[in-house]
Structure 1
């Protein structure tokens, strides 16, 4: 050990190597580039699931976001930039979700051949005057939208509605066909299967929610705008577009009054962020809590249980039916 202490650079190299080993052992997103396949990097879970389903054995999909991590304020590592620079496609939601994308793309460098695809393109975006307190600039397209709508902010949670998810899936499929036309028929066939499942889920949401007596929900995080728009619901949110946007004390008082006046029986919370505020409001209003999942990512338990977009959205529907009776 004295030998190492007398040679500081040796000790530094040893510590660095240990850090690398320990980092490699951690539970995280990521993966390695595979030669001979279409390599695709996705920014977070829903895009990863759709990209994997449509790509099948013809693609290698690397997801950047680790399991159990909320995507709003995550930032990539140098390894993520390196992997993406070697891939053929980089798929991200856009609409202001991933504030790190502009700098990420600059870091990749102009000599890389990867194509960046904003998969929410074509979704009719929702604008809100709710400021989430974060700079979510999602690239030139999103900045142009922001300027066009003055002080309004884009709701980035496009995938939470099966109707918008279908647009996202089609954009993914189209990017595959363009990048790898030799397997175009395979991508088309898998997309059709996914599209049918999304249509079935959409029809089920429409049918079941049309039977409920109420149409107003209280949620912890303003993530359900597209779901509410597409199925005739109204959301009242404790926090803004970002789950880190803290409410004021008077906001809780106002929401408690709304809950009591409208006879709302449940306050919805989500697994990837703290349920403290939802429980506080529920206690104040004398009601219970339930999960409504924005499907921004899987917890480790959900990953082990084999959950996916469809199982989580089915659970969402059942909880909505219960809450809206």
Structure 2
């Protein structure tokens, strides 16, 4: 039942109550393959995609049952909720989503929940200084992003040392002047620290009885994120090169926080197709900047990255935006930290 929906603008998602109830009746027998079901006697938390799911599991411990909406091996830009997800979320205590325009379907989804639901929606990117990116995001994230910009603009977010240090490049070096908020906050450990604290605070708010456990496990997660942040800062600052060429514009926060510049083949969404001229321009950039590797992702096609690499006479490497796990990664025990450590290794190799 996890078929991908057509790539329409999801912010205008307007199911009627009647049609949703009908769909629930039809699909209620289909269990959620993405993350499980509601468990009585625990704090039930619905998360929208992998990084939030992992952080919530680590902080929540045994007190919390976490149901992740996004199935393993699915890229979040291509996914929309199912009726069973509405049922589960209506029964949960927390609904944790990234915000910043990532889940364009979220406003319509929340309006479709049961009228008696007690679920508390929390946008875990709150407090992060968001990046305004240029280019086609492929899914109409722009409208949601502009609405949410006001919610974030008053908050300090990342350190002042990075305030004027935005190295993100226009998506695919295009000529478009369409502005969207970059939703890929979690790819930077600095932003992930903010997200983890928001998750911890939301758990305490709905379940103050287990505050001490949440605080203790959050501190353990924070320690790992701080180490990861220190490793990225230390290792990347030593490298002579600072330009990376990537599949889609998912590394703006990583680049801003660690002094890199990204040149993206596609826009904020991997569905935003580049023009032939974009490939020509990027080939030029690869040669001018002496780029040795084109980075691709495992959840999207590597065809364009390999095409560009062939055109420019360079090789390819993986740079993972950690939007989700492949089935192989899930079965082998990979997680946010192992994937980010591999990212650092590959960045170090590419920027020598």
The verdict on a shared fold, with TM-score over 0.5 as the criterion, is yes
TM-score by length of 2: 0.83
Match for 1:228 among 249, 255, 258? 255
Match of 2:243 in 1: 216
Is 1:111 paired with 2:138? no
Q: Distance in 1 between matches of 2:95 and 2:128?
A: 19
Q: Structure 2, unaligned stretches of length 5 or more?
A: 1-24, 155-176
Q: Quick one: distance in 2 between partners of 1:303 and 1:288? A: 27
**Structure 1 residues 220-260: Cα deviation after superposition (integer angstroms, max 9, x where no partner):** 11000000000000000000000000000000000001101
Separation (CA, whole Å) in 2 of partners of 1:152 and 1:262: 26
Within 2, Cα distance between the matches of 1:31 and 1:139? 30
Aligned to 2:47: 42
Partner-residue secondary structure (3-state), 1:207: helix
- Output the CA distance in 1 between the equivalents of 2:296 and 2:178: 28
1:312 equivalent in structure 2: 339
Gaps of 5+ in 1: 1-16
Query: 1:95–1:154: 8 Å Cα contact kept in structure 2?
Result: yes
2:112 is paired with a residue whose SS is helix
Residues 146 and 152 of structure 1 are in contact (CA less than 8 Å); yes or no, is this contact kept in structure 2?
no
State the partner residue of 2:105: 100
Question: Following the alignment from structure 2 to structure 1, what is the Cα–Cα distance between the partners of residues 26 and 82?
Answer: 18
Max radius of gyration: which structure? 1
Residue by residue over 1:93-130, the C-alpha shift from the partner in whole angstroms, topping out at 9 and shown as x without a partner, is 00000011011001103321000000000001000122
- Residues paired across the two proteins, number: 305
TM-score (norm 1): 0.90
Alpha-carbon offset, residue 152 of structure 1: 2.4
Say which SS state the counterpart of residue 45 (structure 2) adopts.
strand
User: 1:128 aligned to 2:155?
Assistant: no
Q: Does 1:285 align with 2:312?
A: yes
Distance 1:62 1:231 in 2: 32
> Is 1:71 aligned with 2:76?
yes
Residue by residue over 1:242-295, the C-alpha shift from the partner in whole angstroms, topping out at 9 and shown as x without a partner, is: 000000000000000110111100000000000000000000000000000000
- In the TM superposition, residue 131 of structure 1 has moved relative to its aligned partner by 2.5
* Residue equivalent to 2:158: none
Q: Does 1:142 align with 2:138?
A: no
Q: Kindly state the Cα deviation for residue 138 of structure 1 after the two structures are TM-superposed.
A: 4.0
In terms of fraction of residues, the more helix-rich structure is 1
CA RMSD, 1 decimal: 2.2
Question: Which residue does 2:213 correspond to in 1?
Answer: 186
Q: Distance in 2 between matches of 1:42 and 1:270?
A: 22
CA contact under 8 A between 1:157 and 1:225: conserved in structure 2? yes
- How many angstroms does 1:72 deviate by? 1.0
* The one of 56, 64, 73 aligned to 2:61: 56
2:75 and 2:27 map into 1 onto residues whose CA distance is 24
> How far 1:142 sits from its partner (Å)?
1.6
In 2: Cα distance, 1:87 partner to 1:212 partner: 46
Q: What is the DSSP-based 3-state SS (H/G/I as helix, E as strand, rest coil) of the residue aligned with 1:258?
A: helix
User: 2:271 is matched with which residue: 244, 252, 261?
Assistant: 244
